[in-house]
Chain A
Amino acid sequence: MKIKDIAKAILIWGAVSEDGINRLKEDKALAIVPENRPYLIGLKYNACLLKRENINFVYCTDNMLGFLFYKAKIRKTLFFYKERKEKGVVGICGSLYMLLLSKLHNIPIEVISQGEVNFRFLDKDVSSLGGKSFILGETDKSCIIGADDELVNWEVLQ
């Protein structure tokens, strides 16, 4: 697919829930499925689920989202969170990145509780991709910055 073929898409972030599937079906829009590093939830879970449910989607890497926003290809963001807290919501690694980009491009964000992820993560941080390491030495592995869940304050979501 080419960028020009994408229009008024719905971005999904985090593990899609049944509620999310229903909303995507109602909307009948093209969904954008980023890969969700490091765990690859987008590729290993969301893409499979959407395929099974016959929902049209296009896959991309997380760093392509900014350009898709810039090109006005996204009209809504569905954010699947892990937990609600007093200060905000907790989402997977990269949630702040994606939500701030949505906010900075004035894209409405819908907050939905995440689905139950049913696959074993091969990657727990940036040191590997699909289980394969691209880091050579053990000392280099100590330079990895942990990919933790992120608390996103309510202000970002307003």
Chain B
Amino acid sequence: MVSPLISPVRLKNDKILVLDETKIPFCEEYIEVSNLEEALLVLEEMKTRSLGQVLLFFYSCQLWAESISFQEIAQEFKQRRPTFDFLMLGEILRAETSKCIDVKEVVSRFVYGFDQARRGRARRLAGILPNPANILTICNVNGELIYLYEELKNIGKEVFFVVCETRPYLQGTRLTFWELRKNNIPCGLICDNQAASLMKEGKVNCVVTGADRATTKGDIANKIGTYSLARLAKYFNIPFYPLTQYPRDIDIESIDIEERQPEEAFMYLNGDFADTEAVYPSFDITKSEFITKCLGLYG
């Protein structure tokens, strides 16, 4: 089973190839990134996100951290996408390279280790989920649902994914639904607002989402709409499992919630909406009381 979203950003000699996620499902096109400014632009324009932004950061550090430090690159990334913890990624690189390990080696180990950890996490989660597992999900977790499907099938569990379209960028429709269907994985697609109705009818019995940020207390920040799913899931006694990485000992409320340009709230709609006031918080916060269990990379 394959998905280009499992590894959406790659190194090619002294350039970075970035899968343009805004063009999926209509075409699989890669943007060639030749310098840090270009890397920051593709990040700002949402050409890549989630795992892609992590890989973009690491490869940018590998290629261009001669005249600028990891932390300075992290600051630049954070300015473009303030919710994600690029400063922590910079700290990981700084700590590892201070042990005299070459940055290329550190990045290579990280990329391989991260994929292995995601597979391991899918295995652990598969053991927890019910049989059949009718899984509600939102946004996109870069192929990890494919890993989860394989692990569930390996232990003889039936699976059906219900994907929220994830307005306004439609990551659920364009990325998750597309990659699941591409691999003939049983799934259905819904408007974000249909989630409660499906929960009430018993058509989903667990929720699995990503998490852009996590704290040691078990709170998360993730794609807008995640909080609603968690609140509703709690109301209907449905378990809610976010996939987390690198939890920090911080107050979740201290995280910057990125607000995108208002016009992006009308994404993919034809028309002139310049005179319509809009709001677009890109992420929301879910407290631990609404979370059944956070699935970290290693436990």
Binding site for B on A (CB under 8 A): 1-3, 6, 35-38, 40, 43, 47, 51, 56-67, 70, 93-94, 96-98, 100-101, 104, 125-127, 129-132, 134-137, 139-140, 143-145, 147, 150
Contacts and interface: CB of A to CB of B under 8 A. Distances in A.
Interface in B141-196: 162, 164-168, 170, 173-174, 177-178, 181, 187-196
Contacts of B280: 60-61, 64
Contacts of B173: 126, 134-135
Contact of A70 (B196, B197, B271, B284): B284
Interface stretch (B11-19, B40-48, B118-126, B220-228): B220-228
Contacts of A70: 227, 284-285
B66 interface: no
Of the four ranges (under 10, 10 to 19, 20 to 34, 35 or more), the interface on chain B belongs to 35 or more
A136 B170 CA distance: 14
A132 B195 CA distance: 22
Contacts of A60: 265, 278-280
Interface of B: 25, 138, 162, 164-168, 170, 173-174, 177-178, 181, 187-198, 200, 224-225, 227-228, 231-232, 235, 257, 259, 262, 265-266, 268-271, 273, 275-281, 284-285
Contact of B191 (A6, A126, A139, A143): A126
Contacts of B232: 97, 100-101, 104
B28 to A, nearest CB: 12
B204 to A, nearest CB: 10
Contact of A1 (B191, B257, B278): B278
Grouping DSSP codes into helix (H, G, I), strand (E, B) and loop, the B interface class, with mixed when no group exceeds half, is: mixed
B284 A94 contact: no
Given A38-B191, A126-B190, A143-B177, A97 B196 contact: yes
Nearest to A127: B189
Contacts of A37: 165, 167, 191-193
A140 B177 CA distance: 9
Residue from B187, B190, B231 having most chain A Cβ neighbours under 10 A: B190
A136 B25 contact: yes
B279 A1 contact: yes
B178 A63 contact: no
Contacts of B279: 1-3, 6, 58-60, 64
B40 to A, nearest CB: 23
Closest 5 CB pairs of A and B: A94-B193, A63-B225, A66-B228, A61-B167, A63-B192
B172 to A, nearest CB: 9
